[in-house]
Structure 1
Amino acid sequence: MAGLGVRLVQRVSSTRAFAKVAPHVVPALDRTVHRLTGGRVLLSAQMLPGVILTTTGARSGLPRRTPLACMPEDDGRSWLLVGSNFGRTGHPAWTHNLLTHPDASISRRGRDIPVTARLLEGEERAEAWTALLVFWPPYATYQARVDREIRVFRLTRAGG
């Protein structure tokens, strides 16, 4: 039954209707539940691993917190983040923030982890993208819907 549930969520998350509603609903729910549980729970992480990314605003310089799905990498010290914006036309603001200020932090399972972000390009991005499509197939639908290349970042635990 779990496989059926995942496929259903993948199908729903690939729709244009979801892309219109989700950016307003999912992050707000995630931030609220995350705050109420002391950082231990993200609702969206029930389907995909997730983090709360804290960046420095590219223009404002203020801290910006964004709940995001992530793909943990095998080394346990890095995560891939996808700037899909649910298949909407523009790059999400958090990607601009990381390009301007790559030092950030993630909150994962109640722990704050300092990270450094790096935009993946070329062959490195292609390799990561292939793994990401296995991890969450709707990313292919999001990419097909937009003219821009969806940004992929690798976050690496700071300090080694």
Structure 2
Amino acid sequence: MNDAAFIEHNRQVVETFRANGGKVDGWGGILLLTIKGAKTGQERIYPLMSVPYGDSYLAVGSKGGSPKHPVWYYNLLANPDVTVEVGTEKFPATARLLSGEERAKAFVSAVEVFPNYAEYQEKTDREIPVFIIERKS
């Protein structure tokens, strides 16, 4: 899928999510993550798998096992203050990239929610990044 088609697909998913109380056919659990662009500072909305993790959520940068990180990975590193939409709830949060044992434990939990993550990790030489998205108090 080229960039223009990908952007249009995401726009349609976001529109459907918001029109249907956080549900999108064919997606299972989904959340929307609004992040400021690393270079532009413009807000971008990314539909991601909803991976609950205690009182927080995980954002898994699998990109289907691609050799490259998803664009949102770089945006999140540069701008960790985000907005999360899950179901009909919307709240501010902060993202933190996990590493070591903390990342390994979180990745196991992510695979329990979405088993394809394990397959994607096998397809690529890069370690798939995992962020914890923690609600701001």
| Length, aligned pairs only | 134
Equivalent residue, structure 2, for 1:153: 131
Aligned to 1:42: 23
Contact residue 30 and residue 42 of structure 1 kept, 8 A: no
Among candidates 60, 70, 86, match of residue 40 of structure 2: 60
Give the TM-score of the pair, scaled to structure 2: 0.87
Aligned partners of 1:34 and 1:105: how far apart in 2? 15
Identical pairs, percent? 36
Amino acid at match of 2:122: A
2:119 is the alignment partner of 1:138: no
Q: Which consecutive unaligned segments of at least 5 residues does structure 1 have?
A: 1-19
CA distance in 1, matches of 2:14, 2:129: 23
**How much is the aligned-residue C-alpha RMSD, in angstroms?**
2.2
Q: Determine which structure has the larger helix proportion and give its number.
A: 1
The aligned residue for residue 64 of structure 2 is 86
Would you identify which runs of 4 or more consecutive aligned residues in structure 1 move more than 2 Å? 23-29
Determine the C-alpha separation between the residues in 2 that align with 1:150 and 1:128. Answer: 11
Q: Which has the larger radius of gyration?
A: 1
Question: Shift in Å at residue 96 of structure 1?
Answer: 0.7
TM-score (norm 1): 0.75
Q: 1:123 aligns with which of 90, 97, 101?
A: 101
Tell me how far 1:45 sits from its aligned partner: 7.3
Please give the secondary structure, in 2, of the residue aligned with 1:155: strand
**Secondary structure of the equivalent of 2:133?**
strand
